[in-house]
Amino acid sequence: MADIAIRDVEKRYANGAHAVKGVSVDVADGELLVLLGPSGCGKSTLLRMVAGLETITDGEVAIDGARVNDVSPADRDIAMVFQNYALYPHMSVFDNLAYGLRNRGVTKADIKHRVDEAAAILGIEDYLDRRPNQLSGGQRQRVAMGRAIVREPKAFLFDEPLSNLDAKLRVHMRIEIKRLQRRLGVTSLYVTHDQVEAMTLGDRLIVLNAGKAEQIGTPMELYENPQTLFVAGFIGTPAMNLLPGKLENGGVTFEGGANLQLPDMLSGKAASKDVVLGIRPEHLHAATGQAEVGFTVTTDLIEHLGADTLLHGRLGGNGGPALTARLPGKVFGSESDRNGFGIVPDKLFLFDAGTGHRI
Amino acid sequence: MKPRQIIDHIVLILGCLFMVLPVWIALTSSTHSAETLFREGLQLWFGDQFVENYRAVLLEQGGVTKTSTALRMLFNSLILGLGFAVGKIVISMLAAYAIVYFRFKMAEFLFWIIFLTLLLPLEVRIVPSYAVVAQLGLLNTYTGLIVPLIASATGTFFFRQFFKSVPDELLEAARIDGAGPIRFFIDILLPLSKTMMAAIFIIMFVTGWNQYLWPLIMTTDDSMYTIVIGIKQAFQVLYEGGELPRVQEAFALTILAVLPPVLVVLFFQRWFVRGLLESEK
Ligand SMILES: Nc1ncnc2c1ncn2[C@@H]1O[C@H](COP(=O)(O)OP(=O)(O)OP(=O)(O)O)[C@@H](O)[C@H]1O
Ligand SMILES: [Mg+2]
């Protein structure tokens, strides 16, 4: 077991693509760090540099305190789980698990013992003689995990390991991975573009955007305290309402003319400029009028989700910015009955529209 | 629908008969005596000379071809066919492995150069090849017969396409599992290529077996003749001299020449099809 240090790591591909632009993050011993970001942001590239599958253009990766930039993947003592599992199709499940051990000269008896142990942990004992193409998606996923854990490596690297599974199985395997990682206590890097997966799995998250780290923190830190517009929009479902407007005279004027008076704590902070006001749908609630910022919204659609209800509408009537509210439980009445909302002031986020940074 | 199917089948059956009939006639006629064939023409059903005719062809020195025994020629052809096919598979797999998995300058360019040689059949370079082989003192040797033929643009092309279709993650997983280039080739790529190898083996064995011009030029010693040369010899001998043409033995020789490629195709085809079914997915 070990910690991983990533320092000012850069990646430029041969074709000139600048995929990773100076990312630094430390993964503590036993921690699961999730790399989260949209497609093409450089998550896989960063992970593959840690694995040794891509060269590091600049910066440094250290595993267990030792710089590994020039160490081959086999000698980094890491194990990787691939999106398409990359199981050896012509080998039995047993051989798939044993292959890495054989190459490392582990004795036959020891291999048998370790494979059996890993198979028992993952519940794949019954399939050891089968070929990968005789397994279901979920079983293959387990075999891929098994191949990682038999090695007892210093770190696990996961590249979207669940994205080929159906939604239900994904939730199930997500929980299993989390349990397994806790139980084995192996330092892990986990790539995903699914923010729910990231929130539930990660001890900490690093949100990447176009090759840069936007923010690093625990899931709740990122949810409660997004530092940039990008993080605010990326974390949380349904996504945070991001309402562009103009900050002046202690209030924000939105497209369509609606004006919202901000609480002092926000309005005092900046001179007049273009801003984006962020409000999470779940922080809006039916207006009570006390110690709140009030919203007038023309609701035009109600979606019943069962546990919650989503209300879609426009702030300040037609022409205003679109807004979604998420109210707990069942909402009675029709769209026209729902137009007053309130929010506690400290749940409002104000971002600079130019830089994208929190004000 | 129904009448249409009947017509389709009639056409197919006629086609099959058209293809199979000459072989059938050769097979049945090869079991009659020379006298019968001379008097009554080609035969459509088996005679009683099967053992005699085939024994004569296989074992009698200077029989119908006036040269080697058919056994010797079959053996030579087998060496040529196997050496040709195996050599081509080994060389083209290694070439394709280098082209696909190792990043070196102009890999793509070199591949296209190899590919271009597809346009140049053996006949084009047969004179210089002969000169080289002659100077190396390799005339009338198996080495001389096989080695100049085993570079294969076709094989390289097919293996390259196949290797490119193998997911990169497999290589990456193997690298993380501690497999170097040689281990990866032997443990992963080779087993995955089985189907491909079987297919290329079929094609190349038959091509090698049927080589005519090169062995004809290369070999001056009777004991190095291949069966294909033997057939040509047999037909040359057939109508010279005063004796009764030994048509039955010429037919027997032909049947013997056809048999091994047929067996190879039958055997490897099963393997080939099974490989396809297994690697599906
Ligand atoms: N081998 C390569 N050569 C050149 N550019 C590449 C290469 N691999 C990736 N890139 C580029 O680098 C950028 C980051 O790619 P990367 O695969 O890391 O994205 P990702 O965040 O993993 O995306 P996804 O969620 O779709 O997997 C992309 O713009 C991509 O086009
Ligand atoms: Mg990726």
DSSP for A221-267, written as a single string: HHHH---BHHHHHHSSSSPPEEEEEEEETTEEEEGGG-EEEPPHHHH
Contact list in B for residue A130 (CB cut-off 8 A) is none
Q: Over chain B, what is the mean pLDDT?
A: 87
Q: Which residue of B has its CA nearest to A81?
A: B173
Nearest CA to ligand 1 atom 25: A39
Classify A183 as helix, strand or coil.
helix
Report CA dihedral (B143, B265, B188, A86) to the nearest 10 degrees: 150
- Choosing from A35, A45, A46, A157 the residue with most ligand 1 atoms within 8 A of its CB, the one to mutate for a pocket test is A45
Q: What percent of chain A has pLDDT over 90?
A: 65
Cβ of A13 closer than 6 Å to ligand 1, yes or no, is yes
Mean pLDDT of the region A209-234: 95
Mean pLDDT of the region A248-255: 83
Could you report the per-residue pLDDT of A310-343, keeping only the tens digit for each?
989 888 777 788 889 998 888 777 777 777 888 8
B280 pLDDT higher than 50 = no
Could you report the per-residue pLDDT of B206-253, keeping only the tens digit for each?
999 999 899 999 888 888 888 888 888 887 777 766 667 778 888 888
Q: How far is A164 from chain B (nearest CA, A)?
A: 14
Tell me how far apart the alpha carbons of residues A2 and B59 are, in angstroms, rounded to a whole number: 75
Cβ of A40 closer than 6 Å to ligand 1, yes or no, is yes
Tell me how far apart the alpha carbons of residues B238 and B25 are, in angstroms, rounded to a whole number: 18
Contact list in A for residue B174 (CB cut-off 8 A) is 88, 99
Backbone φ, ψ for residue A298 (5° rounding) = -90, 110
Q: Which residue of A has its CA nearest to B172?
A: A53
Lowest mean pLDDT among A37-46, A261-270, A324-333, B67-76: A261-270
Mean pLDDT of the region B70-82: 91
Lowest mean pLDDT among A180-184, A187-191, B32-36, B141-145: B32-36
Lowest mean pLDDT among A40-44, A54-58, A209-213, A297-301: A297-301
B266 pLDDT higher than 80 = yes
pLDDT grade for B281, boundaries at 50, 70 and 90: very low
Mutate to test the interface with B, among A71, A81, A103, A111 (most CBs of B within 10 A): A103
Q: Any chain B CB within 8 A of the CB of A78? A: yes
| Through-space distance between the first and last CA atoms of chain A, rounded to whole angstroms | 40
Mean pLDDT of the region A52-61: 95
Nearest CA to ligand 1 atom 16: A42
Q: Mark yes or no for CB contact A79/B176 under 8 Å.
A: yes
Tell me which residue in A53, A103, A133 faces B178 most closely, judged by beta carbons.
A103
**Backbone Cα Rg of chain B:** 23
pLDDT grade for A295, boundaries at 50, 70 and 90: confident
What local confidence, expressed as pLDDT, does residue A85 receive? 93
Cβ of A16 closer than 6 Å to ligand 1, yes or no, is no
Backbone φ, ψ for residue A190 (5° rounding) = -135, 120
Q: Any chain B CB within 8 A of the CB of A147? A: yes
| Through-space distance between the first and last CA atoms of chain B, rounded to whole angstroms | 35
What local confidence, expressed as pLDDT, does residue B229 receive? 87
CATH 3.40.605.10 fits B3-278, yes or no: no
Q: Mark yes or no for CB contact A89/B167 under 8 Å.
A: no
**Mean pLDDT highest for which of A107-121, A343-357, B255-269?**
A107-121
- Choosing from A23, A41, A230 the residue with most ligand 1 atoms within 8 A of its CB, the one to mutate for a pocket test is A41
Contact list in B for residue A84 (CB cut-off 8 A) is 167, 169
Could you report the per-residue pLDDT of B13-24, keeping only the tens digit for each?
999 999 999 999
Tell me how far apart the alpha carbons of residues B27 and B124 are, in angstroms, rounded to a whole number: 36
Could you report the per-residue pLDDT of A61-119, keeping only the tens digit for each?
999 999 999 999 999 999 999 999 999 999 999 999 999 999 999 999 999 999 999 99
B172 pLDDT higher than 80 = yes
Q: What percent of chain B has pLDDT over 70?
A: 93
- The encoded tokens of residue B223 equal 């004991």
What local confidence, expressed as pLDDT, does residue B117 receive? 85
Mutate to test the interface with B, among A99, A131, A140 (most CBs of B within 10 A): A99
Task: Report the Cα A352 to chain-centroid distance in Å.
Answer: 24
Q: How far is B126 from chain A (nearest CA, A)?
A: 42
Q: Which residue of B has its CA nearest to A105?
A: B178
Bridge partners of residue A244, in order along the sequence: A276
User: Which domains, ranges and CATH numbers included, belong to chain A?
Assistant: 4-233 (3.40.50.300), 238-352 (2.40.50.140)
A241 pLDDT higher than 70 = yes
CA of A80 to the centre of ligand 1 (A): 18
User: What are the CB-based long-range contacts (under 8 Å, 24+) for A299-306?
Assistant: A299/A335, A299/A336, A299/A338, A299/A339, A300/A335, A301/A335, A302/A331, A302/A334, A302/A335, A302/A338, A304/A330, A304/A331
Q: Over chain A, what is the mean pLDDT?
A: 90
Could you report the per-residue pLDDT of B89-119, keeping only the tens digit for each?
999 999 999 999 998 888 888 888 888 888 8
Q: What is the DSSP string of B52-106?
A: HHHHHHHH-TTSTTSSS-HHHHHHHHHHHHHHHHHHHHHHHHHHHHHHHHS--TT
What local confidence, expressed as pLDDT, does residue B65 receive? 57
- The encoded tokens of residue B136 equal 């190396």
A12 pLDDT higher than 80 = yes
CA angle A153, A158, A160 (to 5 degrees): 165
Tell me how far apart the alpha carbons of residues A185 and A63 are, in angstroms, rounded to a whole number: 16
What is the complex's ipTM, to 2 decimals? 0.86
What local confidence, expressed as pLDDT, does residue A140 receive? 94
Of A146, A156, A141, A220, the C-alpha closest to A190 is A156
Q: Any chain B CB within 8 A of the CB of A51? A: yes
Q: Count CB pairs under 8 A between chains A and B.
A: 63
Mean pLDDT of the region B62-82: 81
